[in-house]
Amino acid sequence: MIVYPAIDLRQGRCVRLRQGDVAAETVFAADPVEAARRWAAEGAEWLHVVNLDGALGHSGAENLRALERILAAVKLPVQFGGGLRSLDDVQRLLELGVARVILGTVAVREPQVVAEALARYGPERVSVGIDAREGRVAIHGWVAMADVDALELAGRMRALGMTRVVYTDVGRDGTLTGVNLEATVRLARLSGLKVIASGGVASVEDIRALCAHEAEGIEGVIIGMALYRGMVRLGEALRAARGDPSLCSG
C-alpha cells in the first residue's frame, strides 16, 4: 500500500483545511517546496498535491508555479488534482511532469472529458477523486452536492475504463477523527476499483487497518494533518503500509 503525503496549495502556500473550509486554514509552510523536500528526505514514494484555489474555481496560478518548483526540487512521482476541468488542463499538467492527474467535478458534470483523457493517456495517468459527504458526492471544492452517490459514480467511472479512484470522506478531512474504514472498503469491494483512501487519518492504526484490506482493493492512503501535526511520523506510516508487524498494537 502506498502512502501519499499531502501538500495542499492555497495562494502558493502549503496549508491544511478542516472539512474543506477556507476559514479553517492552517499554514504549515510558506514555501511548499520545503514540505516536498521534507517528505522526500523521510522516504516518501509519491506526493499528493492539490490546487485548492483551482478546486474552488479560482485560477490558482501561484499554486501552479509552486507545483513546478516542487517537480524541479524532488524526483518523486506527483499525483495532482484541483480545478482540472478540460482535456487541455490534463495535457498541460502531464506535460509539466505530473505523474497522475485527479479529476473531480468534471467526472460528474462532463464525464466525456474523463473518457477522452483515459483514451489519450490511460488509467495509470488519469484518475478521479470521489469526495463524499454521508455517501453523497461533493463537487466544486466541496461547496455543492451532486445528485449521485459515491458508489454510483465509481461504477460510471469504471465503465469508462477507470481503474483507481481517490475516495475522500469530506466530513473527516482535516479533522484527525480517524479514517472512514467501512465506507472506503465498501467502495473498493463493490466497485472493483483500486481505492486510495483520504480524510481523517489520525494514527498508524488507521494505516494498518486500511492495509489489512489491501487484497480487497485498498491501494493507498493520503495523509495530511496527522503528518503536519506530528501525530504520525512518515517512516512509521511507510512501515505500517508495508505490514510491519512491529507496529501492531498490544
What are the extents of the domains in the chain?
Answer: 2-240
pLDDT digits (tens, 9 = 90+) for 51-70: 998 877 777 899 999 999 99
Report the distance separating Cα 49 and Cα 247, nearest Å: 28
Contact 136, 150 (CB under 8 A): yes
pLDDT at residue 244, as a whole number? 73
Q: How confident is the model at residue 238 (pLDDT cuts 50, 70, 90)?
A: very high
What value does the mean pLDDT take over residues 7-25? 80
- Choice among 53, 89, 131, 147 that is catalytic: 131
Report the distance separating Cα 99 and Cα 35, nearest Å: 19
Backbone angles phi, psi at 212, to 5 degrees: -65, -15
8 is a catalytic site residue: yes
Give the least confident one: 20-29, 77-86, 100-109, 194-203: 20-29
pLDDT at residue 20, as a whole number? 57
Look at 172 and 155; give whichever has higher pLDDT: 155
Residues 6+ apart with CB under 8 A from 40: 47, 74, 75, 76
Q: Please determine, for residue 133, whether its predicted confidence score (pLDDT) is greater than 90.
A: no
Indicate yes or no: pTM above 0.85: yes
Residues 6+ apart with CB under 8 A from 89: 83
pLDDT digits (tens, 9 = 90+) for 181-219: 999 999 999 999 999 999 999 999 999 999 999 999 999
What value does the mean pLDDT take over residues 22-47? 91
CATH of 2-240, one of 3.40.50.720, 3.20.20.70, 3.40.50.2000, 3.40.50.970: 3.20.20.70
Contact 199, 180 (CB under 8 A): yes
Nearest Cα neighbor of 167 from 240, 190, 227 is: 190
Backbone angles phi, psi at 94, to 5 degrees: -65, -40
pLDDT at residue 248, as a whole number? 45
Q: Please determine, for residue 79, whether its predicted confidence score (pLDDT) is greater than 60.
A: yes
Residue type, 236: E
Helix (H, G, I), strand (E, B) or coil at 246: helix
169 is a catalytic site residue: no
